[in-house]
Amino acid sequence: MRNSLEFLLSDGHDWVVNKSHLTALGITDTHLHFVFAFMIVLLLYVLIKPIIYWVILLRWDRFASYLVSGIMTLCIVQWLELYQGIRKIGEMEFKDIASSALALILFGSGLALTHIGERLLKTWRQSKSQKPKSV
């Protein structure tokens, strides 16, 4: 995120944020990073709150568990990539995070297919037990 903000704050991009004006006001890069991160968190909160409310109303406990575990997994993988980059143990690579996202998508697809299969089997059993027997 820092590279993208430095790109936006470089001299050629004064149309986004005029860094010289902000520096005169005592606003540093750290302040800008905080404000941008805060705005992103606020935006995501506003966007995700109705989805979570809807999931709770529908009592989709599997989906809620999948959502929380997926977010935690991506955070842990991102933290490990950042740790490797800081300690110079390895390289920060986007493909590692992309592989984690692909694993989450495949797991979610499998979870959805399992749930759909269970629902179809339950519906089939109920319809089979409710058929009148011929005499």
- Measured N-to-C along each axis, helices 61-87 and 29-58 cross at an angle, to the nearest 10 degrees, of 160
What is the domain partition of the chain in residue ranges?
1-59, 61-135
pLDDT digit string, tens, across residues 48-59: 899 889 989 998
Asked if the model's pLDDT at residue 9 lies above 70, the reply is no
Confidence of residue 114 (pLDDT cuts 50, 70, 90): very high
Give the residue-averaged pLDDT of 60-75: 89
Please state which of the ranges 14-28, 90-104, 105-119 shows the lowest mean pLDDT. Answer: 14-28
